[in-house]
Amino acid sequence: MIDIAKIIDAMTKGIILLEYTSLNSGKHKSREVTTCWRYMPDEAKVFAKGWHQNAGDTKMLCYDIEFRKWDDIDRDTIVSWQEIEGDWKVKQARLTDLNWDGN
């Protein structure tokens, strides 16, 4: 079972990679999300700085880094998650692409 409290805590400190199934499309999605102010533009900071979520809620709010918008994710659709350190996309490219650096 996914520990929602750990996800919420990790998002307050940084960016996570969240994998879930969209209720709208039924498609599996993998998104870089956060609730940490350091990673959001000013216009996205719509909650008070001390705001936090309740792990018992059925939905979880998160800010999508790439699409630059807030999203609510149904906690029952979460498949997996992991913390992202530094430039995660570069690290993934190194792991998955034999010619990642163009040489």
The model's pTM: 0.79
What is the C-alpha to C-alpha distance for residues 31 and 85, in angstroms, rounded to an integer?
Answer: 15
- Provide the residue ranges of all domains of the chain, joining segments of one domain with +: 4-96
**Is 73 exposed, middle or buried, given 0-12, 13-18 or 19+ CB atoms closer than 10 A?**
buried
pLDDT, residue 49, reads 76
What is the C-alpha to C-alpha distance for residues 10 and 35, in angstroms, rounded to an integer?
Answer: 9
Considering only CA atoms, which of 15, 18, 21 is closest in space to residue 38?
Answer: 15
pLDDT digit string (tens) for 26-41? 999 999 999 998 888 9
